[in-house]
């Protein structure tokens, strides 16, 4: 990656309104990390001294059950903050790894706090980022009520098509390399069960595959399916 740290910081919307003197302050204490797909950025219970923002690629936040089963909580995209919660000075309560080959930029917590103290707009953007995660988590909790897994899968594909969808001639292509195993991790189920549910959705014409990626033929029809209306 040929660009400088300063150029990387200027690419991030969160720092758009920051005075140059504070940009320079951040430059002196920031660093970039390249991560390959599946590589860990941090693990649950790690002591985190840095806050990370995604420059390129996508990152996954996930938890492990008592039996070691992965449960994906979020897929974060470029420009998103990974760990605002690090400001509370307690160990990480979640794991983070690269969903695909990615680049993140890290900022020393104390330096970033100093800049926040002098820039309310930046503080508000970080608070808004935390609020967005809380709302997403509330939606996930709502979806933990006992419903058929095929409806859970349909709801998840609907959300992914909203967040990562690209409109094509025959529907909305979810621009993620989503394996059945990864979908199972997102739903807290087994690969075999999710595979059967995906086959059911394909049979009724709600989804299909194109070049190895999932296409939602109609978000409206998918919504009707999982809402049962």
Mean pLDDT of 76-104: 90
139 pLDDT more than 90:
no
pLDDT tens digit string along 183-209?
999 888 899 999 999 999 999 999 999
Domains of the chain: 5-142 (2.60.120.10), 149-227 (1.10.10.10)
pLDDT tens digit string along 153-167?
999 999 999 999 999
Measured distance CA(192)–CA(190) in Å, rounded: 5
The helix (run of H) or strand (run of E) holding residue 104 is strand 102-108
Measured distance CA(80)–CA(125) in Å, rounded: 11
Mean pLDDT of 123-148: 76
Phi, psi of 137 (to 5 degrees): -70, -40
pLDDT tens digit string along 123-135?
999 999 888 888 8
The helix (run of H) or strand (run of E) holding residue 124 is helix 120-142
Tell me, yes or no, if the pTM score tops 0.95: no
Measured distance CA(158)–CA(14) in Å, rounded: 28
Buried b (16+ CB within 10 A) or exposed e, 88-107: eeeebebbbbbbbebbbbbb
């Amino acid at each position: 990656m040929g660009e400088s740290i300063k150029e990387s910081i200027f690419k991030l919307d969160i720092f758009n309104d920051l005075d140059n003197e504070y940009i320079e302050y951040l430059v002196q204490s920031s660093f970039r990390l390249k991560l390959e797909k599946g590589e860990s950025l941090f693990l649950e219970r790690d002591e985190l001294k840095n806050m990370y923002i995604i420059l390129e690629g996508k990152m996954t936040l996930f938890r492990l059950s008592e039996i070691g089963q992965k449960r994906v909580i979020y897929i974060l995209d470029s420009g998103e903050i990974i760990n605002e919660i690090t400001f509370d000075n307690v160990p990480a309560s979640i794991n983070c790894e690269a969903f695909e080959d990615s680049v993140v930029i890290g900022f020393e917590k104390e330096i970033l706090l100093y800049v926040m103290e002098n820039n309310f707009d930046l503080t508000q953007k970080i608070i808004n980022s935390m609020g967005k995660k809380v709302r997403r988590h509330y939606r996930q909790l709502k979806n933990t009520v006992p419903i058929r897994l095929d409806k859970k899968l349909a709801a998840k594909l609907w959300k992914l098509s909203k967040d990562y969808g690209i409109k094509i001639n025959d529907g909305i292509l979810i621009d993620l390399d989503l394996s059945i195993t990864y979908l199972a991790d997102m739903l807290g189920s087994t690969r075999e069960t999710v595979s059967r549910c995906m086959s059911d959705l394909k049979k009724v014409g709600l989804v299909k595959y194109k070049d190895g990626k999932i296409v939602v033929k109609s978000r409206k029809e998918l919504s009707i399916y999982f809402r049962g209306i």
